[in-house]
Every structure is written in structure tokens, then in C-alpha cells.
Amino acid sequence: MALDQDWGAKMLGLVTSRYNDRHWRKKIEKTLSLTPAGLTDETQRQLFVYLKTRLKAYKSFRADPDSWIVGGYATQEVIERARFDPTTVGPSMTKEDVAVFGKDPGPDVDMAWWDEMLVQWFEQPDEAEAETETLSEDAEETKS
């Protein structure tokens, strides 16, 4: 089960609003290292990939692991560039799509929320639940 649209918006807001808070930098870097498959909404997935690629920096040209520029002017510029011209993210992006950038998700987004977000990012639905949902959907279609 990947992040739904609300959780994805909170995650994008967290990454783009708290990057200057030293308590969140490592968490944001960890979030950027995740795969985009953890987001169900295609628009949010494009926004996440944009952030991931634009904030990426290499420690060296050798086989060092990737790192991200989180904090400071470079991060602010990447966010403002997307907000000014959403087509830099993708040709179909609008100002409403990138409006989540820079908006703090609120006080309910804390370390416990971040841990829960990681669990949801990687959690796979149980096979029994998936079968039950499929059976109930088939029954509803039959009734119609």
C-alpha cells in the first residue's frame, strides 16, 4: 500500500518546507532515497522525481553513494523554479499541482508520522485483504 494523495501531499510539503530545519535534514535525505513507486498519485510521483533529480549531487565521480543537497539556496532555488514555471517538472504540470511545494504540512507531521509514512511507503497489502476487496467489488458489479 503506497501513500495516498493526502499522505503524499504531506510528504512533499515536509520535504519542501522543512529543509532548513537541521532536525529534519537526515529524514528528508532518507525520503529522497526512496523509490517513487511509494506514491499512488502520478502527479505527486512526478513532483517527487523532480525533487529527487534536481536536488541530487554526487560526492565524487567514483562509486560513492548518492547524496542530496538539502538546505540552503540550492534547495530553495529548485523549489521556486518549479513554483514559477511548473512545466520544468513536466509538460502537463500546472501551478495547482506544484502549490504543495513550500507549504508546511502542520504540527501533526512529526517524527512518529514520518515513521508511519515509511511503513506505508513499503507496506504491501495482504493477499487475503486483496482477495476480499476483489470479491466485494465483483459482487457489487453483479448487483448493478
Share of the chain above pLDDT 70, in %: 79
Would you state the pLDDT for residue 132?
Answer: 47
- Per the CB < 8 A criterion, the answer to whether 9 and 44 are in contact is yes
Would you state the pLDDT for residue 135?
Answer: 47
Left, alpha or beta for 80 (phi > 0: left; psi -120 to 50: alpha)? alpha
Domain limits, the chain: 5-143
Left, alpha or beta for 29 (phi > 0: left; psi -120 to 50: alpha)? alpha
Would you state the pLDDT for residue 67?
Answer: 77
How confident is the model over 14-35, as a mean pLDDT?
91
How confident is the model over 119-129, as a mean pLDDT?
68
pLDDT over 90 (residue 142): no
> Cα–Cα distance between 11 and 39 in angstroms, integer?
10
**Cell numbers 511509494 correspond to what residue?**
38
Would you state the pLDDT for residue 128?
Answer: 41
Q: How many CA atoms lie within 13 A of 46 on its CB side?
A: 14
CA-angle at 122, arms to 121 and 125, nearest 5°: 105
pLDDT over 70 (residue 141): no
pLDDT over 60 (residue 137): no
Would you state the pLDDT for residue 85?
Answer: 93
CB burial of 45-84 (b: ≥16 within 10 Å; e: otherwise) equals: bbbbebbbebbeeeeeeeeeeeebbbbeeebeebbebbbe
Would you state the pLDDT for residue 64?
Answer: 66
pLDDT over 80 (residue 125): no
At 43-96, the pLDDT tens digits run 999 999 999 989 887 655 566 667 778 888 888 999 999 999 999 999 999 999
Would you state the pLDDT for residue 48?
Answer: 94
